[in-house]
């Protein structure tokens, strides 16, 4: 039986987002969005990725681990510094927009994670020791990469002078 992320492995916070209505996407987006499936667990690509992860793990420095610890928060507001926004305290509408976009993007990602049910690399190879707590949702597609991309597009549209810093 191929390894697959099971229903019992989901955290309720993430699982509850599947099927929720997005604020900015029209109904039916699930049928229009296309996400390629991940490679199979036993594929040459997956095996090469495991080897690469083991190399990265072996070469990780204490400084890199500190950077990982700082970046592990899943707050969409972190990207704002890159865009030149220091605080949203005086920009409640922008803060609300970022919060709603973050929620929409998370709904999209969790929907596709549920479709593919990709296990995390440490399940495929016990030598992989994650440096952060393993999230309670499937590995693919990447939530962080998706959220960063969405925020980069929106923030660059809001502040075109910072576009080069975001991409």
**CA 114 to CA 18: how far, in whole Å?**
8
pLDDT digit string (tens) for 19-72? 999 999 999 999 999 999 999 999 999 999 999 999 999 999 999 988 887 777
Q: Which residues fall within 8 angstroms of residue 160, CB to CB, at 6 or more apart?
A: none
**CA 129 to CA 121: how far, in whole Å?**
9
- What are the phi and psi torsion angles at 59 (to 5°)? -100, 0
User: Looking at residue 84, what is its pLDDT?
Assistant: 64
User: Looking at residue 66, what is its pLDDT?
Assistant: 85
**CA 120 to CA 148: how far, in whole Å?**
20
CA geometry: angle 127, 130, 135, nearest 5 deg: 130
Q: Which residues fall within 8 angstroms of residue 5, CB to CB, at 6 or more apart?
A: 113, 117, 118, 119, 120, 137, 138, 139
Q: Which residues fall within 8 angstroms of residue 83, CB to CB, at 6 or more apart?
A: 155, 156, 158, 159, 162, 165, 166
CA 13, chain centre distance (Å)? 15
Residue 167 DSSP one-character state: -
pLDDT digit string (tens) for 64-113? 988 887 777 655 566 666 566 666 777 788 788 888 998 999 999 999 99
Q: How many CB atoms lie within 10 A of CB 25?
A: 15
**CA 71 to CA 145: how far, in whole Å?**
13
User: Looking at residue 132, what is its pLDDT?
Assistant: 86
């Amino acid at each position: 039986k191929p390894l697959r992320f099971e229903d019992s492995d989901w955290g309720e916070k993430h699982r509850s987002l599947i099927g929720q209505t997005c604020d900015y996407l029209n109904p039916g987006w699930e049928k229009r969005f296309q996400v390629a499936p991940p490679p199979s667990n036993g594929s040459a690509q997956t095996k090469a990725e495991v080897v690469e992860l083991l190399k990265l793990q072996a070469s990780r420095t204490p400084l890199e681990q500190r950077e990982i610890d700082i970046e592990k928060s899943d707050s969409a507001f972190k990207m704002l510094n890159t865009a030149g926004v220091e605080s949203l305290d005086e920009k409640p509408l922008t803060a609300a927009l970022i919060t709603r976009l973050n929620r929409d993007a998370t709904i999209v990602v969790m929907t596709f994670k549920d479709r593919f049910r990709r296990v995390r690399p440490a399940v495929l190879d016990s030598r992989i020791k994650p440096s952060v707590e393993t999230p309670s949702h499937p590995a693919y597609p990447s939530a962080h990469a998706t959220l960063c991309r969405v925020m980069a597009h929106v923030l660059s549209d809001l502040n075109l002078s910072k576009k080069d810093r975001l991409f």
